Chain A
Amino acid sequence: NAGVMQNPRHLVRRRGQEARLRCSPMKGHSHVYWYRQLPEEGLKFMVYLQKENIIDESGMPKERFSAEFPKEGPSILRIQQVVRGDSAAYFCASSSGLKNTGELFFGEGSRLTVL
């Protein structure tokens, strides 16, 4: 399967623990986007990364959230000291950056539940 791969699909954490969500972009894609979807809401942009660079983090909460996309390996969205309000679906999307149709290819999402 050459699509965007996210894991875990479901993650349960207690308040105060850390959550790590992983995203492997489509083959040949070097641009990764993270979105958050709260229950019954649309997707909200969080961060845009290219290999080893954060390009736009205007949607990231100022505290506890971080993202990286290392030279080797998947992109990681890290949430420290989770709170109940972090419960959401986190989607990763990738693109080639060629701006043809500009289509983002989405993963199936990681659903975080904070108890």
Chain B
Amino acid sequence: AQKITQTQPGMFVQEKEAVTLDCTYDTSDPSYGLFWYKQPSSGEMIFLIYQGSYDQQNATEGRYSLNFQKARKSANLVISASQLGDSAMYFCAMREARYLTDKLIFGTGTRLQVFP
């Protein structure tokens, strides 16, 4: 079974609009962390936001927020006021505490394109 599922291969959004990138996960570990990374065309992996499974509030970092719905096992990324520079691949990832490592399992990604 897929640990991390990103069902949207590609998304389009107009500049200044908000966009939601979906991510669902599968784990039996009660303690885990969820991450979003951005990969622009230049190829580097840029950390965006983190949500711990025990965090009471949804994580926010500037224009990024994570819509964490624990019962549904979803961790969608919301980007507000999209900018042209947001065009990139976005990866959702999970770390399970039981492995006692920082090993991340990644989804297949969503390619976001922001148009003027």
User: Which residues of chain A have a CB within 8 Å of any CB of chain B?
Assistant: 31, 33, 35, 41-45, 48, 55-56, 89, 91, 93, 95, 97, 99, 101-109, 111
Min CB–CB distance B16 → chain A (angstroms): 29
Residue of A nearest to B37 (CB): A106
With a cutoff of 8 Å between Cβ atoms, the chain B residues found around residue A108 in the complex are 43-44
Cα distance A104–B101 when bound, in Å? 11
Option from A44, A56, A101, A109 in Cβ contact (under 8 Å) with B101: A56
* 19 A–B contacts, CB within 8 A, in A order: A33-B104, A42-B106, A43-B104, A45-B105, A55-B101, A91-B45, A95-B102, A97-B102, A99-B102, A102-B35, A102-B95, A103-B35, A103-B102, A104-B47, A104-B102, A104-B104, A106-B44, A107-B44, A109-B45
Residue of B nearest to A41 (CB): B108
Given contacts A45-B105, A56-B103, A104-B104, contact A109 B91 (CB under 8 A): no
